[in-house]
Amino acid sequence: MDRLRDALKGVAKELAKSIHPGTVLGLGSGSTVATLLEELSPLVLAKTKTVAGVPTSTQIEMVATRCGIELAPFKGGVDLVLDGADQVDQGLNLIKGGGGALLKEKVVMGSARSTVIVAAENKFVRRLCDNGVRVPVEVFPMARESAKVRLSMLGGVPEERLMPKGYPYFTENGNIILDTLFEPADNPRDLEVRIKSTPGVAEVGIFTFKPITVYKLGTDGSFEVLKTHD
Partners of 117 in beta bridges: 83, 214
**pLDDT tens-place string over residues 107-150:** 999 999 999 999 999 999 999 999 999 999 999 999 999 999 99
CATH class of 130-205: alpha beta
> How confident is the model at residue 1, as a pLDDT?
59
Minimum mean pLDDT range among 35-49, 101-115, 116-130, 164-178: 35-49
**184 membership: H or E segment, kind and range:** none
192 flagged as catalytic: no
Closest CA to 147 of 138, 211, 101: 138
DSSP state of 194: H
Q: Residues near 75 by Cβ (< 8 Å), separated by ≥ 6?
A: none
Q: Return d(Cα 97, Cα 105) in angstroms, integer.
A: 8
- 2-126+208-228 is classed in which CATH architecture? 3-Layer(aba) Sandwich (3.40)
Averaged pLDDT, 172-195: 98
Distance between CA atoms of residues 87 and 126, nearest Å: 10
What is the residue extent of each domain of the chain?
A: 2-126+208-228, 130-205
What type of residue sits at position 156? G
Maximum Cα–Cα distance for the chain, whole Å? Answer: 53
Burial class (CB in 10 A: 0-12, 13-18, 19+), 186: exposed
Q: What is the pLDDT of residue 229?
A: 67
CA 163 to chain centre: 21
Of residues 14, 39, 61, 105, which has the active-site annotation?
Answer: 105
